[in-house]
Homo-oligomer: A and B are copies of this chain.
Amino acid sequence: MTLSLYDASVPVFASMMRNMRAWLDKAAAEKDEATLLEARLAPDMKPLPAQYQMASDSAKNALARLTGTDAPAMPDTEQSFAELRERCDKTIAYLTGFDAAALAGSETREVELRFPNGMGYRWAGAAYLTGFALPNFYFHATTAYAILRNAGVALGKPDFLQHLGMPTSPPSSA
């Protein structure tokens, strides 16, 4: 009745970043890139590039915090689909550099988020992953998808779920 923190993090984050990268290819084939780069769902929500950047940050910071290491800096300078693809690739390469052994002990590792004002939050690693890192990651991944759909890009649920754990062979129809 348990799940490894590795299985609950690295393949999940990496697969969704691969999906997010693929959405850019579909979007570029259908719509004007400059328009999509400015697209957002509400005036006080961030546009598409920031959703990619925050998904990347959520994933890489989760692995860094769970392993007690430093995540590579990625300074959020992306201004084109080519640069967003590169951000996805760098994030995926970082994530998939971890193996299950690297997450040994991460369930109980203390994770602290501290904000510039000195306040912050503290969790055990497992609670941080399920209660903050994963929902925050999915928030930004889904918001990126929602921005593209709202802008008329023809994505569908399979574009969101593919690679995530869909078995390649369906059961027999017997």
Contacts and interface: CB of A to CB of B under 8 A. Distances in A.
Nearest to A164: B131
Contacts of A107: 1-3
A106 B120 CA distance: 35
A132 B112 contact: no
Q: How large is the interface on A (under 10, 10 to 19, 20 to 34, 35 or more residues)?
A: 35 or more
A117 to B, nearest CB: 8
A118 interface: yes
A82 interface: no
Interface string A159-171: 0110011110011
B165 A132 contact: yes
Interface string A127-138: 111111011101
B132 A170 contact: no
B135 A41 contact: no
Interface string A6-24: 1110011001100000000
A105 interface: yes
A135 B132 contact: no
Given A130-B165, A136-B161, A161-B135, A149 B41 contact: yes
Nearest to A149: B42
11 contacts: A3-B8, A45-B149, A127-B165, A131-B164, A132-B166, A134-B138, A135-B161, A135-B164, A138-B138, A142-B142, A146-B150
A166 B121 contact: yes
A151 B144 CA distance: 17
In this complex, the member of A1, A112, A121, A157 whose beta carbon has the largest number of chain B beta carbons within 10 angstroms is A1
Nearest to A45: B149
Nearest to A153: B42
